[in-house]
Structure 1
Amino acid sequence: MRVRRSGEHARVGFVELFFDLVFVFAITQVSHLLLAHLTPLGALEAAILLAAVWWVWIDTSWITNWLDPERGPVRLMLFGLMAAGLIMSTSLPEAFGDKGLVFACAFAAIQTGRSLFTLWAVRSSPVQKANFQRISAWALMGAVFWIGGGLAEGQARLAIWLIALALEFTAPAVAFFVPGLGRSNTTDWDVEGAHLAERVGLFVIICLGESIIITGATFAELAWTTPVVTAFASALVATIAMWWLFFSEAHEAASETFAHAADPGAIARRAYTYCPIIVVAGIVVTAVGDELALVHPLGHTAPATAAVLIGGPMLFLLGTSLSILAVWGKVAWPRVAGMAGLVVAACASPYLAPVVLTLLSTSILVLTATWESLARRKS
């Protein structure tokens, strides 16, 4: 069931793309949830759910990096995860309400079921068998907290799910250490970098597509006045600029860096497991800001509106900057400068209408992408 032979690029299969369709819906659900509850508590709840959605997806992408998704048993496993993922996605709007237990059980079933399946699939490899014994132990421990949170209510659920999410994010960082079983070694993870880079790129495309869907659907329902058309154009250009910044030559070069790295698993853990969630959050928050600017382009900019109009691009630049640092160990100065520009824009936000603020944040993204592209051509 191994995906790749030594030196062979693992092509992303159609079944993996089919699996991703569930997450188009999930990302849309999270965006709508944040838009409907644009408060500090609402933002925290949306962040927890977005992180959970990302963790389900990236963990599955690691599995299809190792196992051949064209094999029957692996394909059936992915279909089962799709079914559970769809249940999880439909429960997202009420995850902190009446459907908390549904969400928790679906999430736990995905994480534990996938880990146990992979443990069976790699049973002939002593190294990978031990690796997935540890991973399964962490998944089972996390399931206790997810389901426990689903049974709780109110702030207790929030607190328990924060612990559960902390366990999910901590596990790879501590190499899935389990007393008596030891810890995994990233050099044994044998990751195929080009495949994982392509998978993460596809998830970013999903998020950018969701942003376009929200912007287009909102714009279609509004009167096409000059401020509305301006906000729409700004949102579209911002999405293009984010695509430009993410899918630059650096993204393509990352797979080459993986191919020649002494420990590709360690780089993949940093650059493709942790950093992209910040990028994804930036795209989702930017989409929410674009919708607010479309609906209310003129007048006073509320603090919540300013937070998403500036915070979305800020998170995106931060996430991509950390990814570059994780892969090459260098600082992306144009992106750092872009974040500094957004800080200045945030200071001016109380005096700017939403349409002006969105134009300003979009301009900063475009200038950042242009500066970086010109600098790369000169080097």
Structure 2
Amino acid sequence: MTDSLLRTRDGHHARVGFVELFFDLVFVFAVTQISHSLLHHLTWEGAIHAAMMAAAVWWSWIYTSWVTNWADPERVPVRVALFVLMGLGLLMSTSLPEAFTEKGLWFAVAFVATSMVRSGFMLFAARDNAMLKRNFLRIIIWQIFSGVFWIAGGLMEGEWRVGLWLAALFIEYISPAMFYRVPGLGRANTAEWTVEGGHMAERVGLFVIICLGESLLITGATFAEATWTPEVIAAAAVAFVGTLAMWWIYFSAAHEAASEVISKASDPGTLARRAYTYCPILIVAGIIVTAVGDELSLVHPTGHVEPAVAAVLIGGPLLFMIGGLLAKLAVFERWSIPRVAGCVALAALWLAAPFVMPLGLAALTTAVLIAVAGWETWSLRTA
């Protein structure tokens, strides 16, 4: 139909629109807020709070990316909907640092409103597509269910808020795996999800670039304010090279191949759900934690490595590597030997942590990232 708000599936790659890139800018701020919050609260409690916020922010973003995989962002109503979601996303992002204190209700309301606006709009946009309309009716019912826990958590304090929000996140993340099953409406059939693999791969890739860019911003800003001693210069170089290595690993030839596999799959929805909905959260979390580790090694490159510092210096790259390993497994259904070896090597660095300085530990994790990137590149060239 000429008035359809949905993309046409004509066999050509659906390009990412400028309005989608504009929408992503809100999440640059969100990622920065999370990394700064973790940096200033480097405790188990702070780590749990940061992980929960990262999970919520990622979920809000990836759901919108699924929507723009179906809805055409060149149509004015779709753009207006994205602008409304941007405003709600900005409110959500600004409340992140105090989400577990006085701005919890603001965060919860912004998150739930984002879900309702997004899914409600898709019910309208897909009004002539029975499959999509029925699917988003199931989705909005699940989101109303989780929304009760989000709002209740925003009204409570302390451990009650954490518990209720953990329940909300569990409902959010389990709903796709449950195929949005609703009594009377049945369950979704992922084989009917007409996913454009190239668009989805590009959207997730752009979010990864946002996170890597935020890592570079932290490195640059911290380095600019520091006294440029040889140790500080070395720490900045290590952080920069480590970011380059993560980019190299993520945007390998496998990234392009994955979009082709999904595009030609008999059940693209299942592949896209595994590879681009669940797995990237570990990649994103890894980059955020690595950025915190980079700043810590820049501020204190020498001296004893505290356990919390070791946790972020090793944990960030390890989370990134595990996420990349699982994403590759989800698409190609085989284990990546270089990435398995990288996970093992990074985990083994816990044994070295008591004997090196923060700069030394950061250099070792970067060396592992470089080795994995080089190994994968060499393997592809000799295959």
Normalising by the residue count of structure 2, what TM-score does the alignment of the two structures yield? 0.98
Alignment correspondent of 1:208 = 212
Whether the aligned pair in 1 keeps the contact of 2:346 and 2:365 (CA below 8 Å) is yes
Alignment correspondent of 1:50 = 54
Alignment correspondent of 1:245 = 249
> Residue 140 of structure 1: CA displacement?
1.0
One-letter code aligned to 1:361:
T
Is residue 230 of structure 1 aligned with residue 234 of structure 2? yes
The separation in 2 between residues aligned to 1:221 and 1:343, in whole angstroms, is 32
The separation in 1 between residues aligned to 2:62 and 2:118, in whole angstroms, is 12
Deviations 1:177-227 (A, max 9, x none): 111111000011111000000000000000000000001000000000011
Is residue 218 of structure 1 aligned with residue 218 of structure 2? no
How large is the Cα RMSD of the aligned pairs? Answer: 0.6
Is residue 29 of structure 1 aligned with residue 51 of structure 2? no
> Residue 5 of structure 1: CA displacement?
2.0
One-letter code aligned to 1:262:
S
Secondary structure (helix, strand or coil) at the match of 1:32 reads: helix
How many residues were matched structurally?
379
One-letter code aligned to 2:348:
V
The answer to which of 116-125 and 290-299 deviates more is 116-125
Alignment correspondent of 2:149 = 145
Deviations 1:130-187 (A, max 9, x none): 1111011011111111011000000000000000000110111111011111100001
The separation in 1 between residues aligned to 2:88 and 2:104, in whole angstroms, is 14
> Residue 103 of structure 1: CA displacement?
0.3
Deviations 1:48-79 (A, max 9, x none): 00000000000000000000011111100000
The separation in 1 between residues aligned to 2:343 and 2:136, in whole angstroms, is 39
Superposition pairs for residues 150-189 of structure 1, below 5 Å?
150-189=154-193
One-letter code aligned to 2:361:
L
Is residue 8 of structure 1 aligned with residue 12 of structure 2? yes
Alignment correspondent of 2:91 = 87
Deviations 1:89-143 (A, max 9, x none): 0000000000000000000000111101101111111111111110110111111
The separation in 2 between residues aligned to 1:343 and 1:118, in whole angstroms, is 43
One-letter code aligned to 2:209:
I
Aligned-residue identity in percent: 60
Alignment correspondent of 2:360 = 356
The answer to which of 124-133 and 232-241 deviates more is 124-133
Is residue 121 of structure 1 aligned with residue 125 of structure 2? yes
Where does the alignment leave 5 or more consecutive residues of structure 1 unmatched?
A: none
The separation in 2 between residues aligned to 1:341 and 1:323, in whole angstroms, is 19
The separation in 2 between residues aligned to 1:95 and 1:186, in whole angstroms, is 34
Is residue 289 of structure 1 aligned with residue 293 of structure 2? yes
Alignment correspondent of 2:348 = 344
Match of 1:256 among 242, 254, 260: 260
Match of 2:311 among 307, 314, 319: 307
Whether the aligned pair in 2 keeps the contact of 1:176 and 1:184 (CA below 8 Å) is yes
Secondary structure (helix, strand or coil) at the match of 2:290 reads: helix
Whether the aligned pair in 2 keeps the contact of 1:208 and 1:283 (CA below 8 Å) is yes
Alignment correspondent of 1:325 = 329
The runs of 4+ residues in structure 1 deviating greater than 6 Å are: none
Secondary structure (helix, strand or coil) at the match of 2:352 reads: helix
Whether the aligned pair in 1 keeps the contact of 2:208 and 2:284 (CA below 8 Å) is yes
Alignment correspondent of 1:41 = 45
The separation in 1 between residues aligned to 2:347 and 2:356, in whole angstroms, is 14
Normalising by the residue count of structure 1, what TM-score does the alignment of the two structures yield? 0.99
Where does the alignment leave 5 or more consecutive residues of structure 2 unmatched?
A: none
> Residue 264 of structure 1: CA displacement?
0.6
Secondary structure (helix, strand or coil) at the match of 1:175 reads: coil
Secondary structure (helix, strand or coil) at the match of 2:304 reads: coil
The answer to which of 335-344 and 23-32 deviates more is 335-344
The separation in 2 between residues aligned to 1:339 and 1:132, in whole angstroms, is 38
Whether the aligned pair in 2 keeps the contact of 1:112 and 1:143 (CA below 8 Å) is no
The separation in 2 between residues aligned to 1:4 and 1:22, in whole angstroms, is 28
Whether the aligned pair in 1 keeps the contact of 2:6 and 2:125 (CA below 8 Å) is no
> Residue 351 of structure 1: CA displacement?
1.2
The separation in 2 between residues aligned to 1:371 and 1:219, in whole angstroms, is 30
